[in-house]
A and B are shown apart, each in its own frame.
Chain A
Amino acid sequence: MYIIVIGGGKVGYYLARTLLDEGHEIVVVEKDPVRTEFICSELGSVCVRGDGCEVATLTEVGTGRAEMFIAVTGDDEDNLVACQVAKHKFNVPRTVARINNPKNEAIFKELGIDVTVSSTNIILESIQEEVPTHPLTHLLDIRERGLEVVELKIPADAKTVGKEIRELSLPPESRLFLIIPKQEKPRVPTASTALQAEDQIIAVTTPESEEALRKALRGS
């Protein structure tokens, strides 16, 4: 497959290298002459010096026959314009843009870029997988007693929604002392108070029974 890569920075260089190893035909377009020379010396003459948003440069590298066009410079606006030129002037079937500011993801989709890759979002997603989405938030440590005040939100899909406090197997060291429902006023829970979706719960617990408390309140 003939693939054009715009931007010969670290992302562009390693991308080109990997795609070459996979047997694709690659051209990298890079503005900086020193960087262009470096890539050519490393990968063979696959790098052309020029502006990847300019029609003249893209004509020179034969964008008309490219099956894929990938813009990975460090500037979102350059990646957007390069992809738009490739799409509208050269009818490249597939355009991929790297996004640095995650907010631009929706904008790029709206403006007709086929695929967007946001390195910031990818890293954020893997962090969120590692860390539970609704963790306990530590509000206060009562260090001399070995206690802590924590906050926890009941997810809408929790198994405990609709259950009364007495039905929950709360660890003995923990006490719930305030429930802040999404709509209504905060209230002090009693044994017969039923949990509702999106309730915010303030509790006292020990560091050891934190996890047990989280499980008891969220039902998982």
Chain B
Amino acid sequence: MKVVIMGCGRVGARLAGLLDIEGHTVTIVDTDAYSFRRLPAEFGGTALVGNGMDEGSLKKAGIEEADAFISLTQGDNRNVMAAQIARNIFKVPRVLCRVYDPLRRELFNSLGIEAFSPTTIFAQMLKEKLETETEEAK
């Protein structure tokens, strides 16, 4: 599978590493070349400096042949815009997107973008964790 990831933060770099080990073709894009230090030393994919909201950069990253696009920058709006460009302009079959704000996530899910809110997921996980451990302690 050909995957384009936008944003080489901790999550982006880790995901790129995981997919790369499994043999997928990974291209990771970030505006800051310094962020590529987070990629694992054995990373065999492509790291590209560029803006994921720019059609030119996305084409360079091979978005036209990509099977999946994932936007993981720090800005919710940036992620959502890039995801919509990938989905509506480049017709990428699978588009995932991180949105910190849970309210915005709902809206974008309704617009047909698979958006995930780490805020909701992590809070829920912590809550469950807390509940199970109290039960074990009983």
Residues in B neighbouring A53, C-beta threshold 8 A: 76-77, 104
Q: What is the CA–CA distance of A82 and B75 in the complex, to the nearest angstrom?
A: 14
Which one of A54, A77, A111 lies within 8 Å of B88 (CB-CB)?
A111
Interface string of A51-76 (1 = CB under 8 A from B): 00111100000000000000000011
Number of interface residues of A (CB under 8 A): 20
Stretch of A34-42, A83-91, A143-151 contacting B (4+ beta carbons < 8 Å) = A83-91
Scoring A54, A77, A78, A103 by chain B CB atoms within 10 A of each residue's CB, the highest score goes to A77
A88 touches B104 (CB 8 A): no
B132 at the interface (CB under 8 A from A): no
CB-CB under 8 A from A101, the residues of chain B are 54
**CB-defined contacts of B78 to chain A, threshold 8 Å:** 77
> Do the beta carbons of B85 and A85 come within 8 Å of each other?
no
Q: How many residues of B contact A (CB 8 A)?
A: 20
| B103 in contact with A84 (CB, 8 Å) | no
CB-based contact B84/A111 at 8 Å: yes
- Closest B residue by C-beta to A81: B77
What separation, in Å, do the CA atoms of A111 and B89 have in the docked complex?
Answer: 9
- Contact assessment for A55 and B53 in the assembled complex, using a CB-CB cutoff below 8 Å: no
Q: Is the CB of A107 within 8 A of B89?
A: yes
Separation of A102 and B136 alpha carbons in the complex (Å)? 59
Distance of A54 Cα from B111 Cα, bound (Å): 16
Chain B residues, CB < 8 A from A78: 77
Q: B residues within 8 Å of A by Cβ?
A: 53-56, 75-78, 80-81, 84-85, 88-89, 101, 103-104, 107, 110-111
Which 6 residue pairs of A and B lie closest in terms of their CB atoms, listed nearest first?
Answer: A77-B77, A77-B81, A81-B77, A55-B103, A77-B78, A78-B77
